[in-house]
Amino acid sequence: MELNSIPDIFQSKIRIAIVSCLLTGTKTFKEIKELTGATDGNISTHMSKLKAASCVEVVKDFEKNKPRTRYTLTEQGRKEFEDYVNRLEEIIKLADQIKK
């Protein structure tokens, strides 16, 4: 398996971390920040790329008159991520077989 077979969208650690934390459900910006430990700027930049790739949906609403942004993983994003994780597992299995 070649490195270039991995989709561009998952060639960043932050994007992988963001998608991983959205696997368990919708999260606010603050929750994503807490879980990934990334800076606001980094999250915003990578979130834009995930939105552009239709991997993440954004819901903007108000909570106690304060604007709140929540992020959800789309079906397409979930499927692409599952495919990507399967590829990673194949790489590791293949490496184990070569070692043996």
Partner 1 sequence: MENQVLENAVDDISLIKNIIEKTRKSFSGFSKIFIMWGILYLFMSALSFLQSMNMELTLSIYNEHRYLNYLVPAILFGIGAIIYFKVTKSQPLVGLERHLMVLWILVLIMQLVRMKVELSMDLELLDGITSNNELTQIVTTSSFAYITYGLGIASVMTGIFTELKNFKILGLVYVVLALIHSYVGPGSMYEMLSSLGYVILPFTLIYTGLYLKRHHERSEVDGTQLDS
Q: Please provide residue 67's backbone torsions phi and psi, each rounded to the nearest 5 degrees.
A: -65, 140
Q: Which is nearer to partner 1, 34 or 83 (CB)?
A: 34
Minimum distance of partner 1 from residue 28's CB (angstroms): 8
Q: Which is nearer to partner 1, 28 or 74 (CB)?
A: 28
Residues at the site binding partner 1, with contacts judged by CB under 8 A:
1-3, 10, 12-14, 16-17, 20-21, 23-26, 28, 31, 34-38, 42, 63, 68, 85, 88-89, 91-92, 94-95, 98
CA distances to 26, 33, 52, 57 from 66, in Å:
18, 18, 26, 20
Which pair of tokens denotes residue 62? 């108000």
Minimum distance of partner 1 from residue 49's CB (angstroms): 14
Minimum distance of partner 1 from residue 54's CB (angstroms): 20
Minimum distance of partner 1 from residue 62's CB (angstroms): 11
- Full strand arrangement of the beta sheet holding 56-63: 27-28, 66-73, 56-63
Q: Which is nearer to partner 1, 12 or 74 (CB)?
A: 12
Which pair of tokens denotes residue 53? 């790739």
Nearest Cα to Cα of residue 45 among 70, 15, 20 = 15
